[in-house]
Structures are given as structure tokens and as C-alpha cells.
Chains A and B, each alone.
Chain A
Amino acid sequence: MTTIVLLTLLYLQISPPKDVRVFDTPNDAGGSITITWESSPDAEGYRILRMALPDSVYTPVDWVDAATKRYVDKVEDGVKYRYIIRTERGSAYADSEPTDEVWSHGNVFHRGRTNVLIGVAVYTTLLLSFIYFAKRGKKLFVRKIAGLDAVDEAIGRATEMGKPVLYIPGLSTISDVATLASLNILGRIARKAAVHGTRVIVPNRNPIVMPVCQEIVREACLDVGRPDVYREDDIFYITFSQFGYTAAVDGIMLREKPAANFFLGMFWAESLILAETGASTGAIQIAGTDAIHQLPFFITACDYTLIGEELYAASAYLSREPLSLGSLKGQDWTKLIIGGLIVAGVILVSFGSDWFLGLFSS
């Protein structure tokens, strides 16, 4: 009997979590304390106990399972706290030593993002420098982009054939930078089309993008002195449904037979359905997206494709405005710097030096 009691007591004797640490959660707005610990082999779970000073009683805050080794507690800023982590198994438990006093406060700067800030500062300085040089009248060379040189050809073809131009500003929302880039290109294309009196049809999937498109095309027509070309009914909303929209645009392509199709912006699985239908109508097709997985489809089915950054460069390229071209040069120089860093990183890591990688981690 004594042996059974002793064995039971031995069984019930469980170890507390070790190495319990508490600290103000870094890089946050305040209001939280992080507790970490080394797990106990006996735990079924842990109870978090907290005492707000000057109280002298620990109150349970939460219970977490045995796999948890980190807990973030929501607290009041400026109040001092102590914690105990209790290992629990059935009715048995074992408390850790009470932690040191800890209090939370908000951080003024996110230190984990220092490298990002430096990168942004370098890049912004480069961009602004080239914009400044461009403003001073320095000639900037920008390589030819075949897809953008073909815009005039596409609009000219539509004008000659007396057919409309179809412009798809992607399927994403206005908060997507690809959509904004696409809207900038729409402005340039609408101006060129308005000069020739060519219709631009813009079916929209997003109801916020639609009025922006209407405004862009209307202003473009007014700017070139052809308000008569603008038809509000040509820029319309279809549906938010991805494939409902795709079906509708396919129908427009087959019924209206546009001479030129522009697919510029963010696309998903519908990219190939749209581009292949457009190709079957014989239209000249110019696509551009930053969706990497849709690029092969566009390259296959379209006459010209703007790959990734070319979509963002398009508006500056078409406008030839020195300020916008300056930002393109800044981009190119930053790519050169990144290329240099990649080569340096490959060499250093190949020789066993890891500190270089640390510069780029958060």
C-alpha cells in the first residue's frame, strides 16, 4: 500500500516550465507583453497567471496547450506585472518562479524594418535624383519596348477598320498598383483613340474602377478637343463574378469584333480564356500584367506582352514626359545595385560568410 502511495505521489510530481522570460513585445503599438518558456515534459497544458503590482494575488489569464511555448498577453501600458507559468496535468500542477517586473509601452520605430527603410531611402533618393536631372533637361535614354511601340499601330488599325478598341483594366480593385498602372495607360490610349475618333470599350469588373475609367476617357476626349467621341455607355460595369465577367467580355469580343484588345492590369485564371478568344477574332492583342503565373498565357496568345515592370513603365514610356522617364532611370539603376548585391551575396555565402544574409532579414 505504501509503495502504491509513493508511486502515485512520484507520478503526480511534475516539473514546472523552465527559463520563463517576459518582455515588452517589440515593435508594437504597446498594450502587450510576451512570455516565453521552455516546455515541461510533464505538461498537459499551461496556465498563465498574472499579478498587477501593487496587488499581491496572481489571477489566471489563460490556458494554453502543451505545445505552446510563447504567449502574448494584452495588458495596460505603464502598469507593472509579474507572471507565473503553471504546468498542469490532471489535478496536479507545478508553478514556475515568479518573473521579474515587466511593463509595456508603444515603440516609436519598428526596428525590424530598419533595412527596409534604408532600401526605400536609397531607392527614393535615386528616383528623385533622376527626376531632378530630367527636370533640368538632361536627355535620358530609355530602351524600346515593342509592346508599347505597337499601341499606335493597334489604334491605327482599329481606326482604319472602323472597329472599336477593347480595353480591359484587369480584374482587380483600385487599391492594386497594377490597376492604377493600367488606368494610367488607359488615359494615354484613350487620348490617341480620341484623336482618331475611335471608340474605346472598357468593360469593368470592379464598380470603383468603372467611374474612374469613365472620367479618364471623358477627360482624354476633352483634352484632345473631341468630346463628341466620348460615349459613356462604352465604359460600363458587368459583374463582380470572375467567370461571369469573362463570359461577358468573350461575348463582346465575338459580337463587336474589336480590332485591338488591350489586357493590362491584374489577371487570374481568366487570362488565357480572354486572350485566346481575342486571338480567334483576329484582333491585335497587347497584354501586360504583374501576375507572374499569367504571363506565359499572355505571351502565348497575344501579339505583345508587357512583362512585370514594363506595365508600370508603360505610362511614362507613352507620355515621354521627362519627370516620368526620370523615375524609370532610377528604377534601372536600382536594379543594377540589386544585381550587384546578389552577386556579392552569392560570393560571400559561397565562402561561408553569413553576416551578409543577416542584413536582409527582419
Chain B
Amino acid sequence: MKRQIPLIITFIAGIVMIIQYFIPHEPFAGMQQLFNQWYLIIAAFAMILGIGNLLKIHSGRISRKTSGWGYSIVLLTGLTVMLISGLGWGIERGTFFFYLFWNLHIPMASTMFALLAFFVASASYRAFRARTIEATLLLIAAIVVMLSRVPLGGYIWSKIPFAGDWIMSYPNMAGQRAIMIGIALGTVSTSLRIILGIERTYLGGGK
């Protein structure tokens, strides 16, 4: 019964969503919007669950003084300060919450994002080492595309911008579309397996 009820709910919800795509008439019209609203309500309560989990795990780490418990203090302090300032004085522009969000959270998130530039450089170095024929082709294609995107490419040889566009528009686009077709079919196949109850690992266990 523990498995049956979720499977029945999944089947009914899946079939209803398929039907509403093809039948715009009531009672199916607006069904997607209704389901989305239900999802938002569940998501709101799940956030409470997430915060609860965060409090439980990190307060446990602090009380047990496990390695790295100092980070847990920072996390819980941040959580408490943001929660109190947001609930107490609102989150609009000019509030303490907004100040913290704008001057702490945004710069830290931007810093993490900015690290991407260095990681791209190190990853490119590894990928472009011409050890195999494939890697050499990748290296040549990358150089052509990079040069085609800057004025220097055109100065070196007027055909380089066209070569870069050709690589992006044909071999690259063909590859992307092939992957996209596979993804679309895989999505439908996975959805069907879940709706029909063939795939039920997401309910827990493997059978």
C-alpha cells in the first residue's frame, strides 16, 4: 500500500497532464496551472523542511564539536540574522535584510561565479592538449572559433570569421540537435516509465 498509493497518484497526474495538452476544454483547461499552484504550496512547506534539516544537522555538529563545527556556527548565525531581519523589518530596498543581501550575499555569489574564468582556463588547457586526433581537431576548431570572434582573426585572414561561423552553424549545430533529439526521446521515455510504474526507484528502493 505504501508503494501503491504514490504509484496511483503518479499515474493519474501524468495521464491528466498529457490529456490537458491535447484537450483545451474544461475540466482539463487550467489543470496545468492548478498543478503548478499545488507544487508551489508544497515547495513553500518543503522550504521549512529544508531549514529544519539545516538546523538539525548543524546544531548537532556544534554540540558534538565534530570537525569543521566552526563553519556550522557561521551558517546558523547567518541564517538567524537573515531570518530575523527579514521577518522583522521586511525585505524591501532600504531594509537591513536588503543591505545584507546586497552587500554580502551578492558579492560572495559573484566571487564564486568569477572563479569560472580560472576554471575555464585550466579545463581548456587540459582539453586542448593535442595528444589524440580528436583532441587535435578540438584544438583547431577552438582556435578558429576563438579567432573568428575577435577582430584579430579577420586581420590574420579574412576567411577566419566565416570559418568560425561555419563551424558553429553546421557541425556544432548538427551535434547539438542530435543530442536534443535524444534528450527529447529520453524525456518522454523516462516520463512514460514513471507514469506506467515501470520505473519506481524514485519512490525508494530498487524494485
Interface residues of A (CB under 8 A from B): 27-30, 106-110, 113, 116-117, 120, 123-124, 127, 131, 173, 175, 177, 180-181, 183-184, 186-188, 191, 204, 206-208, 210-212, 215-216, 218-220, 222-223, 233, 236-238, 240-244, 246-247, 251, 255, 269-270, 272-273, 275-276, 290, 292, 295, 297, 299-301, 307-309, 311-313, 315-316, 319, 323-324, 327-328, 330-331, 334-335, 338
Q: Which of B85-93, B107-115, B150-158, B159-167 contacts A (4 or more CB under 8 A)?
A: B107-115
- Partner among B42, B113, B191 whose Cβ is within 8 Å of the Cβ of A177: B191
* Cα A127 to Cα B124 with chains together (Å): 40
The reply to whether A315 and B199 contact each other, CB–CB distance below 8 Å, is yes
- Chain B interface residue bracket vs A: 35 or more
Compute how far the CA of A330 lies from the CA of B185 in the bound complex, rounded to whole angstroms. Answer: 10
CB-CB under 8 A from A233, the residues of chain B are 57, 60
Q: Closest approach, in angstroms, between the C-beta of A312 and any C-beta of chain B? A: 3
Q: Are B183 and A309 in contact (CB under 8 A)?
A: yes
Q: How far is the CA of A229 from the CA of B148 in the complex (A)?
A: 54
Given A187-B204, A292-B179, A324-B199, does the pair A210, B193 have CB atoms closer than 8 Å?
Answer: no
- Would you list 17 pairs from A and B whose C-beta atoms are within 8 A, ordered by A residue? A110-B24, A123-B185, A181-B190, A188-B201, A204-B50, A207-B50, A215-B204, A218-B204, A222-B205, A247-B112, A295-B179, A307-B179, A308-B186, A309-B182, A315-B201, A331-B186, A335-B185
Complex CA–CA separation, A330 to B42 (angstroms): 35
Q: Please name all residues of chain B whose beta carbon is closer than 8 Å to the beta carbon of A301 when the two chains form the complex.
A: 123, 126
Which residues of A have CB within 8 Å of B47? 207, 240
User: Are A319 and B206 also in contact (CB < 8 A) when A300-B126, A312-B189 are?
Assistant: yes
Q: When chains A and B are docked, how far (Å) is the Cα of A223 from the Cα of B186? A: 28
Residues of chain A within 8 A (CB-CB) of B198 are 131, 323-324, 327
Residues of chain B contacted by A290 (CB below 8 angstroms): 183, 186-187
Q: Is the CB of A106 within 8 A of B26?
A: yes
B192, A124: Cβ atoms closer than 8 Å: yes
Residues of B within 8 A of A (CB): 18, 21-26, 29-30, 39, 42-43, 46-47, 49-51, 53-54, 57, 60, 67-68, 71, 105, 108-110, 112-113, 115-116, 119-120, 122-124, 126-127, 176, 179-183, 185-194, 198-199, 201-207
Contact between A220 and B205, CB atoms less than 8 A apart: yes
Shortest A272–chain B CB gap in Å is 5
Q: Contacts A127-B192, A175-B39, A243-B108; is A180 near B202 (CB within 8 Å)?
A: yes
Contact A292 B43 (CB under 8 A): no
A24 to B30, CA, bound (A): 19
Contacts A210-B53, A216-B204, A319-B206 hold; do A242 and B186 have CB atoms under 8 A apart?
no
A269 to B186, CA, bound (A): 23
Listed residue (B57, B112, B176, B190) with the most chain A CB atoms within 10 angstroms of its CB: B190
Q: Is the CB of B206 within 8 A of A191?
A: yes
CA distance in complex: A275, B23 (Å): 44
Q: How far is the CB of A203 from chain B (nearest CB, A)?
A: 11
The answer to whether B122 and A312 touch across the interface, beta carbons within 8 angstroms, is: no
Q: How near does chain A come to B176, taking the closest CB pair, in angstroms?
A: 6
Number of CB contacts from chain A to chain B under 8 A? 205
A238-B113 Cα distance, complex, nearest whole Å? 18
**B71: nearest residue on chain A (CB-CB)?**
A251
**Chain A residues whose CB sits within 8 angstroms of the CB of B105 once the complex forms:** 241, 244
Find B189's partner among A219, A299, A328 (CB 8 Å cutoff): A328
B54: chain A residues within 8 A (beta carbon)? 236-238
Q: Which of B68, B110, B123 meets A272, CB within 8 Å?
A: B123
Contact B182 A308 (CB under 8 A): yes
* Residue on B nearest A272 in the bound complex, by CB: B119
CA distance A207 to B116 in the complex (A): 26
When the two chains form their complex, are residues A183 and B46 in contact, meaning their CB atoms are under 8 A apart? no
In whole angstroms, how far apart are the Cα atoms of A120 and B43 in the complex?
30
Q: How near does chain A come to B183, taking the closest CB pair, in angstroms?
A: 4
A117-B22 contact given A276-B123, A313-B186, A338-B181, CB 8 Å threshold: yes
Since A173-B43, A324-B198 are in contact, a sample of 9 more A-B pairs with Cβ atoms closer than 8 Å, ordered by chain A residue number, is: A116-B22, A180-B194, A186-B201, A237-B50, A251-B71, A275-B123, A309-B182, A324-B193, A331-B186
State how many angstroms separate the Cβ of B207 from the closest Cβ of chain A.
Answer: 7
Tell me whether B202 and A29 are in contact (CB under 8 A): no
Knowing A207-B46, A292-B180, the reply to whether A212 touches B116 (Cβ < 8 A) is no
Q: Return chain B residues, CB-CB under 8 Å to A110.
A: 21-24
For B25, the chain A residues whose CB sits under 8 A away are 29-30, 106-108
B127: chain A residues at CB < 8 Å are 299-300
In the assembled complex, the Cα of A116 lies from the Cα of B18 at a distance in Å of: 11
Instruction: Select which of A187, A237, A335 is within 8 A of B182 by beta carbon.
Output: A335
Q: Enumerate chain B residues within 8 angstroms of A113, measured Cβ to Cβ.
A: 21-22
Q: Is the CB of A219 within 8 A of B204?
A: yes
How far, in Å, is A94 (CB) from chain B's closest CB? 36
